[in-house]
């Protein structure tokens, strides 16, 4: 196996983390695409990993998890510190050596989500950091909503704007149902 570039390594790790966090299997079409990518990875096609973001974007829930994981990994790379609650052994040298092999194997399974959770021995990932970030977002959205509402309709507007923005922040952060969209490749 070739040595992965840091950006490729990050993309692959983020995608695997996203797979472990998904609470349902992938759609058949997406699974088929991933299977093909697993074959490409095994055959050491150089552009295989670059296709992962596009694959993730075909499933909104997977894409959201992928983006979150990618940002989290980026932060960890930048600060050179381990995420305190991370249960994934993504940083161990042995894991990095086998990352491409492991990903290829997971992608070629009939249920990549289940395989990722089994291979990586993860049932529930630490989401404490993510939760707090969502709370931060709700707070700042409430403040912003108050500003906009206040400009439009003074004090009542500020109160309503703040509430609406906070509720919307809560909805997109916590309450939004993860929907399975029809696969574009199907």
Partner 1 sequence: MNQLPALISWGISTLILILTNLYVRKRRRQNALNFEDCVVLATSTAGFFVGAKVIIQAFTDPILLQRLEWDGAIAVVIGGAFTCYLAVREIIKFFQ
Count Cβ atoms below 10 Å from residue 160 Cβ, excluding itself: 16
Determine if 147 is a binding residue for partner 1 (CB under 8 A).
yes
Determine if 92 is a binding residue for partner 1 (CB under 8 A).
no
Determine if 137 is a binding residue for partner 1 (CB under 8 A).
yes
For the bound state, the minimum distance from the C-beta of residue 137 to partner 1, rounded and expressed in Å, comes to 6
Binding mask 157-176 for partner 1 (x = CB under 8 A): --------x--xx--x----
Determine if 155 is a binding residue for partner 1 (CB under 8 A).
no
Binding mask 93-122 for partner 1 (x = CB under 8 A): ------------------------------
b/e map 163-174, b = 16+ CB within 10 Å? ebbbeebbeebe
On whether the CB atoms of residues 105 and 46 are closer than 8 A, the answer is no
Handedness of CA 93, 98, 103, 106 (dihedral sign): negative
On whether the CB atoms of residues 37 and 55 are closer than 8 A, the answer is yes
For the bound state, the minimum distance from the C-beta of residue 92 to partner 1, rounded and expressed in Å, comes to 25
Q: Which residues contact 169 (CB under 8 A, 6 or more apart)?
A: 134, 137, 138, 141, 142
Binding-site ranges for partner 1 (CB under 8 A): 53, 57, 63, 67, 71, 74, 136-137, 139-141, 143-148, 151-152, 165, 168-169, 172
């Amino acid at each position: 196996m070739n040595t992965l570039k840091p950006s490729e390594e990050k993309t692959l790790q983020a995608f695997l983390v996203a797979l472990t966090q998904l609470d349902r299997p992938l759609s058949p079409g997406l699974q088929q695409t991933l299977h093909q990518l697993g074959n490409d990875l095994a055959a050491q096609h150089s552009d295989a990993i670059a296709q992962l973001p596009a694959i993730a974007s075909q499933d909104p829930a997977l894409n959201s998890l992928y983006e979150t994981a990618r940002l989290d990994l980026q932060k960890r790379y930048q600060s050179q510190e381990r995420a305190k609650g991370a249960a994934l052994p993504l940083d161990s040298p042995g894991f990095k050596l086998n990352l491409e092999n492991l990903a290829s194997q997971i992608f070629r399974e009939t249920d990549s989500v289940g395989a990722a959770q089994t291979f990586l021995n993860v049932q529930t990932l630490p989401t404490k950091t993510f939760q707090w970030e969502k709370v931060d977002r709700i707070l700042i959205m409430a403040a912003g909503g108050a500003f906009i509402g206040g400009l439009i309709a003074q004090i009542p507007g500020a109160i309503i704007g703040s509430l609406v923005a906070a509720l919307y922040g809560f909805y997109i952060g916590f309450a939004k149902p993860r929907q399975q969209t029809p696969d574009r490749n199907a």
